[in-house]
Amino acid sequence: MDLDCEPIVALHQVSFTWPGSRQFALNIDSFTLCRGERVLLLGHSGSGKSTLLSLLCGVITPQQGTVTLAGTNPASLSVAQRDRFRAENVGVIFQQFNLLPYGSVADNVLLPLAFAPKRRQRAEQGGNSMAEAQRLCAALQLPDQILSARTSELSVGQQQRVAVARALIGQPAVIIADEPTSALDHDSQQAFMNLLLHQVADSNASLLMVSHDPSLADYFDRVVRIEDLQTATPQVEALC
Ligand SMILES: Nc1ncnc2c1ncn2[C@@H]1O[C@H](COP(=O)(O)OP(=O)(O)O)[C@@H](O)[C@H]1O
Ligand SMILES: [Mg+2]
């Protein structure tokens, strides 16, 4: 690990299996995401990338080992505390964007602030949170009137940028993106990556992005292959 690294996310001797599943196990001796770092996590389909993201942000808890997110082990918190802690510290861009279809763009972008008072405070610093949502949408090159539009009326590219605005609002320390470019052609992918990285740098966040596409490597400080993180353990060997 880089000696100057201030870890924002760290995994230590983590083992995880899905309940009832003997086919798949994640065993990671060590992984660190530094504050301000941009890391691309590569791996083929089914290799456990999304599972790893869920572990990092405390959606699931490992059977062994520890996860540290912004100095706290999410497993040490109650479920309600954990949800709030995650909302404060992590902005997530889901693979399918997971926008609320019945809400406006503003409802979607402002949603994390309802669960994260510190993010709300930061979002309100320049005036009010709606002004911050407007600023983010403009920075992501979305049309002026978009905040009042229904998300169901948006193109895929617009939905994706709304999902980015929702992840960034209120400056969470970590942005996690699960294959956000998988539905894009090459040119749209480049435009999206440039916008995402610019905004991530602007908000001083760390970025962990998951993909199966190695051609994205140049956008990142570091590339990690999930296969290289995986260590053989007695659990895995027992299946062989
Ligand atoms: N909610 C779940 N319950 C049980 N098994 C799951 C669940 N989510 C994923 N898996 C299994 O875990 C393995 C890794 O899946 P996943 O983390 O989604 O991989 P990736 O994101 O790299 O495609 C797969 O074998 C998948 O079937
Ligand atoms: Mg996945």
**What ranges in the chain are assigned the alpha helix state H?**
49-56, 79-89, 105-110, 117-123, 129-139, 156-168, 186-202, 226-229, 234-237
Is 50 close to ligand 1, i.e. is its CB under 6 Å away? yes
Is 43 close to ligand 1, i.e. is its CB under 6 Å away? yes
Is 94 close to ligand 1, i.e. is its CB under 6 Å away? no
CA 59 – CA 49 distance, rounded (Å)? 14
Is 24 close to ligand 1, i.e. is its CB under 6 Å away? yes
Instruction: Write down the pLDDT at residue 163.
Output: 96
Return the CA Rg of the chain: 18
Is 152 inside any structural domain? yes
pLDDT < 70: residue spans in the chain: 1-3, 233-240
Instruction: Write down the pLDDT at residue 2.
Output: 59
Closest among 31, 35, 34 to 43, alpha carbons compared: 31
**What residues have their beta carbon closer than 5 A to ion ligand 2?**
49-50
pTM here?
0.93
Is 1 inside any structural domain? no
CA 174 to ligand 2 centroid distance, Å: 18
SS3 160: helix
Instruction: Write down the pLDDT at residue 233.
Output: 56
Q: Output the domain CATH number for residue 98.
A: 3.40.50.300
Q: 206-211 and 174-178 as β-strands: parallel, antiparallel, unpaired?
A: parallel
Range of the domain at 115: 7-237
Domain count along the chain = 1
Is 23 inside any structural domain? yes
Instruction: Write down the pLDDT at residue 235.
Output: 47
Other beta carbons within 10 Å of 24: 14
Query: What is the edge-to-edge ordering of all strands in the sheet holding 7-16?
Result: 26-34, 7-16, 64-69
Is 194 inside any structural domain? yes
Is 100 inside any structural domain? yes
Is 32 inside any structural domain? yes
Is 222 inside any structural domain? yes
